Structure 1
């Protein structure tokens, strides 16, 4: 079993979409633990609406590519469309940050809100 860290973000009906994504993650990964949510704004001005962000940690025997596939399947099931991002709309974004000892997305891992939320998982 490897430890997996993911981030969840939404800026459209964010509370409902994050809650739905939590339920779907818990279905596939029953030991999942979530942080509280935090509200952030994108610094690049590309997204007009604030984001609700959450971190989740769970364990799995699945290979890295299968974990990514499950996360993308959840995004698709929730209605995420590639063209939505161009409109500044993110129904749900689930990013794999860490798989075992490997930091998969180092730039995302270093974001201030991720570092802030990580303290909730450590304590």
Structure 2
């Protein structure tokens, strides 16, 4: 079993969409633990609405590719479209940040909100 760290973000009906994504993740990964959510403002001007962000941690024997596939299935089931980010609309964004000891998205991992939420996982 390897430790998995996932980030979730939404800026459209964010509370409902984050809650729905949590339930869907818990369906696939029953041992998942979530941080409380925080509200952040995007640095990119195309995002006019604030984001709700959450981290999730769970353990799995699945290869990282299969985990990413499940995350993308959740995004698709929630109605995410590839063109949405271009219009500043993020129904749900779920990213695999860490797989075991490997940081897969170092730029995302270093974001202030991720680092702030990581302290909520440790405590």
TM superposition score normalised by structure 2: 0.99
User: 2: distance between equivalents of 1:3 and 1:33?
Assistant: 11
The 3-state SS of whatever aligns with 2:19 is helix
> Residue in 1 aligned with 2:86?
86
2:105 maps to 105
Aligned to 1:116: 116
Per-residue deviation, 1:45: 1.0
SS of aligned partner of 2:83:
helix
CA distance in 2, matches of 1:64, 1:49: 31
CA RMSD of aligned residues (A): 0.4
Q: Equivalents in 1 of 2:19, 2:29: separation in Å?
A: 15
* 1:66 paired residue number: 66
Task: Give the TM-score, by structure 1 length.
Answer: 0.99
4+ runs deviating over 6 angstroms: none
Aligned length, in residue pairs: 123
Question: Deviations 1:10-40 (Å, cap 9, x if unpaired)?
Answer: 0000000000000000000000000000000
What are the ranges of 5 or more consecutive residues in structure 2 without an aligned counterpart? Answer: none
Secondary structure of 2:44's aligned partner:
coil
SS at structure 1 position matched to 2:97: strand
5+ residue gaps, structure 1, are none
